[in-house]
Structure 1
Amino acid sequence: MRILAAEDNRTNQLVFGKMVKDFDIELRFAANGLEAVEEWRRFQPDLIFMDISMPEMDGREATRTIRLYEQEKGTRVPICALTAHAMDGDSESIFAAGVDFYLTKPLRKASIAERVLAHQPEDARPVLPEGLEL
């Protein structure tokens, strides 16, 4: 399974990487929304975790851009927003951008695993090793 994580904060990238280190996935990072769109084109991930607050292009705009390109291709990758700001009204603007789900920070390994398992392609190797404790 191929996963793209768009996250501008290096520490958050390290934390995310540690949370999924036992998963059998191919993980790539993008440091901003522009990189996320470019990496989506090259990598064709099965799932995207998209930070909402990023420089250059935020997660909402990156998601809207990906959704526009997908309309031309007839595809749709699941996008899970990552946000530290779960204020009233935030979820509406996040979903309006084309995001499918969102997780609030600080992230929990079990929540990430739940999203990954929900979107694991049928032809992919099992993502979680047997007996992995979440």
Structure 2
Amino acid sequence: MAERPGTDAATSARLSKQRRRDTKPELALRRLLHAAGLRYRVDCAPLPGMRRRADVVFTRARVAVYVDGCFWHSCPVHATRPRNNAQWWADKLAANVARDRDTDGRLTDAGWTVVRIWEHEDPAVAAEKVITTVRADRTSD
């Protein structure tokens, strides 16, 4: 992985090891959804040609679930701002949030329901939110 401008080698190495999928919060959520009898796709683009992938996708119910990391998606409670290369990081994190809002809009316009969960949320509460959404969409058919 190329080193980010103004990022030291140790930080760059640590960031390169960040998981893109199968994080602990994701696995905990998926385990509870599976135990509730729901079946889903993992790390899947909800719309054809859409390069943005949802963490959990219920294709029939048209529900896309994203488990957002507090750092990468600027959680209002737990977000931190790096001091090194502060402006580059501010721009990067703002672009992530803008992309999230754009993704939500595209999916909503295409008839999908988007569920966003923060990594710090209680997995049982998050799973109940997803289960309720998926089952509500199934009964509205």
Q: Shorter-chain TM-score category?
A: 0.3 to 0.5
Give me the TM-score of the superposition, normalised by structure 2. Answer: 0.44
The structure with more radius of gyration:
2
